Amino acid sequence: MDRRIRLLTLDESDATPLYMQLARKLTAAIEAGQWLAGEALPSERTLVDTLGISRVTARRALQVLDEEGTILRNRGQGTFIAPRFAQPLSNLGNFSEMVRPKGFVPTSEVIDTQRREPSHEECVALGLRPNDEVLSLTRLRKADTTIVSLDRSTLPVGVLSDVNEMGDSLYAYLDRIGKPVLRAVQHFRAAIATAELSRQLSIEAGEPLLLVSRVGYTHGEVAVELTKTWCINDYYDFVVELKR
């Protein structure tokens, strides 16, 4: 028997329902790193045969983890540990630097670009005039094939005039042209998935999201990017260290 599964043995004398015991034990094992993000979790059949529980108990336990966003269930492929990424708020890092250490391949799919006049919010954030031009690009952020967020970045055309110039990473591009983001101000607020966001992120309309708005500054405190990121809550942990 797999040692990890043996540790999931349930206590029938405990008043807690068996499916909830199993859900809690699985969650604790995942948080302890016994199963890693992207790794397959034991199937319902394996849990039933190994632990001597009913199929209903196994199914309900996995349903709890599914609803909590701990696992991903792919029909015909199995049940996998959902990716979850910790982003320290004290460090200015990019998406790739957050995803790669977890063993996932980061990808960005550009789904829309617009060259246009800035909105009032963009004028204020980027220090632009209403008749200036900006380039706005919308990207799906993925860990392997799992969509984890949607970015909408807006930059003055003097910084980026053609998305084909950028390559795979916006921040790497800004580094190359000598306008690296040295400081950023971020704001966090709750959001709800609109019909458009639900289609883009492949989630249900009305699902809660975390909206992160960031203004990035380069040399001379010049604002070079305004990025809004709609994060699927299941995949993100924002971490801040406080000292006294």
Which domain-ending residue is among 29, 63, 81?
A: 81
Which domain-ending residue is among 64, 81, 98?
A: 81
Q: What is the largest CA-CA distance in the chain?
A: 72
Higher pLDDT, 115 or 28: 115
pLDDT of residue 183: 93
**Whether residue 192 sits in one domain with residue 75:** no
Check which CATH number belongs to the domain holding 111 and give it: 3.40.1410.10
pLDDT digits over 29-86, tens only? 877 777 776 678 888 888 888 888 999 999 999 888 887 777 777 666 678 777 666 6
Q: Which residues contact 141 (CB under 8 A, 6 or more apart)?
A: 95, 106, 107, 108, 147, 148, 149, 150, 151, 229
Nearest to 233 by CA among 30, 4, 68, 89: 68
Higher pLDDT, 117 or 31: 117
Amino acid, res. 25: K
Q: Which residues contact 18 (CB under 8 A, 6 or more apart)?
A: 10, 12, 53, 57
Check whether 98 has a pLDDT greater than 90: no
Q: Strand order of the sheet with strand 183-192?
A: 106-116, 134-143, 146-156, 222-232, 208-218, 183-192
Please state at what angle helix 55-67 crosses helix 18-31, rounded to 10 degrees: 50
Q: Is the pTM of this model over 0.85?
A: no
Alpha-helix residue ranges (DSSP H) falling in 32-157: 44-51, 55-67, 95-99, 120-126
Residue 73 lies in a domain: yes
Q: Which helix (H) or strand (E) holds 31?
A: helix 18-31
Residue 219 lies in a domain: yes
Which domain-ending residue is among 60, 81, 102?
A: 81
Residue 244 lies in a domain: no
